[in-house]
Structure 1
Amino acid sequence: MNYTLEQARILTGLTQVEMAKKMGMSEKTYIQYEKYRRIFRMDQAFKFVENVDVPMNTIIFFAGQLQNFRSQSEMSICV
């Protein structure tokens, strides 16, 4: 199963404010990442993974992946 940034954060039990602090950024900036308006650099992605209990290969880091993920989900519903 793949998880959005928001889902990965929620699974860990962190709020956006708590995650922003752990990531060393403002809440507003973190929310932009979670809404896929910004893309994590690799170092930030690793820092995110360190703070959540979700394997890196199951986290959707790019909006393009999110679109593909939704398409696959929709296809499995139609089958």
Structure 2
Amino acid sequence: MIARVLEESQALFQVLSEDRKTRYLVPTWQDTVVLESISAALHPLQDFTDALSGESYVNVSYLKPVLHLLKSETLAEKEDDYIL
């Protein structure tokens, strides 16, 4: 849902800024930065969930390597991470 909001941000801006009652809902640049950070953080988890949600091909032997990859690379601290 966050990715979709980011994709359609220009359309949201146009629609919300036309009406005085909804103008306060227009996302600021700070909101956009936060949404982009959240999207970047959640994207690997989406891939992980998609990989494990298949009914016909997922088995337990797939779980441990994926969890190791998730812990060692995806969730590892990077230089360009925001510190809040």
TM category (shorter chain) comes to: 0.3 to 0.5
For the pair shown, which has the larger CA radius of gyration, 1 or 2? 2
Relative to the length of structure 1, the TM-score reads 0.34
**Which gives a bigger RCO, structure 1 or 2 (Cα 8 Å, sep 6+)?**
1
